[in-house]
Amino acid sequence: MKKAFTLAEVLITLAIVGIVAALTIPTMVQNYEKKILSVRIKKFVSTFNQAYKMAIANYGDPIYWHDCTVQEGNSICTTVTGAKSQKILSSMKVTDITDQIPESYKQGIEENFDEVMGGGWPIWEKTQCWQLADGSFILHMIDWTFKSSNESVTTFIIDVNGISKPNRLGKDIFQFAQVHTSLNEDGGPHSYNAWTTYEPLSQGLYLDGYGYSRSFNICKNLDKTSTLGAKYHCTADMLQTNGWEFPDNYPWDAF
């Protein structure tokens, strides 16, 4: 007599397989997305660092990249007049697509910044956008000079996969700062004053908030009541100290 599975057994097996798939597939998809975005972050960091070294080779030490006249101890320069950002961009293969950004993308980014950071940026009428060969975007690149012309930073926003979703801070959009010399004085935009108060920075590329969250133990105290802004600043340490990989405790779902 031939043995075979009954219809009930087959249905039960299929139900179990479906339940397991429902539980595991979303995690697998999320992990895949994290891996892809991590690869793109690493690629951007590598591309930017190579361009920065090339700019130094072409133009000399950044301390001599004079951008704007320092007035009352501070200066803020856009790429229209900022020598530092222009020198970096000239060493990268970028295309100015400021006038080609879809309105839907602009609106989505603006709403995301309002939700996570409480607003402040972007003012699209004053924002430039450059596209790299791989489709990633550099947005809102600005030169800053603190206290003296020897302490300076170029800040910018990167969307590592450009127009493609999720277009969310903490997932594919990050704020970076290229410190040109060193920051030792308490002064500067956003969280850089906290950086320089608690952890002076040498020349290098940093995620916005790096050191800030560590100083205030933000990452150690994250819970459901923490603001999105706190969670976002926490991600700076998490990513930069983990080789640009998303660690297991990364607050991915929050964003």
Cα(199)–Cα(202) distance, rounded to whole angstroms? 10
Statement: residue 168 has pLDDT above 90:
yes
Tokens 């080789």, located at residue: 243
Q: What residues are paired with 213 via a beta bridge?
A: none
Of 6-10, 124-128, 236-240, the least confident: 6-10
pTM as predicted? 0.80
Digit-coded pLDDT (tens) for 32-82: 899 999 999 999 999 999 999 999 998 888 877 765 554 444 555 555 556
Q: In 3D, which of 163, 124, 118 has the Cα closest to residue 140?
A: 124
Low-confidence winner among 64-68, 175-179, 185-189, 204-208 (lowest mean pLDDT): 185-189
- Residue 55 CB contacts under 8 Å (≥ 6 apart), including other chains: 62, 87, 88, 90, 91
Residues in CB range of 26: below 8 A, 6 or more apart:
none
Q: Which residues contact 131 (CB under 8 A, 6 or more apart)?
A: 94, 95, 97, 137, 138, 162
* Predicted local confidence at residue 182, as pLDDT: 66
pLDDT tens-digit profile of 120-139? 777 888 889 999 999 999 99
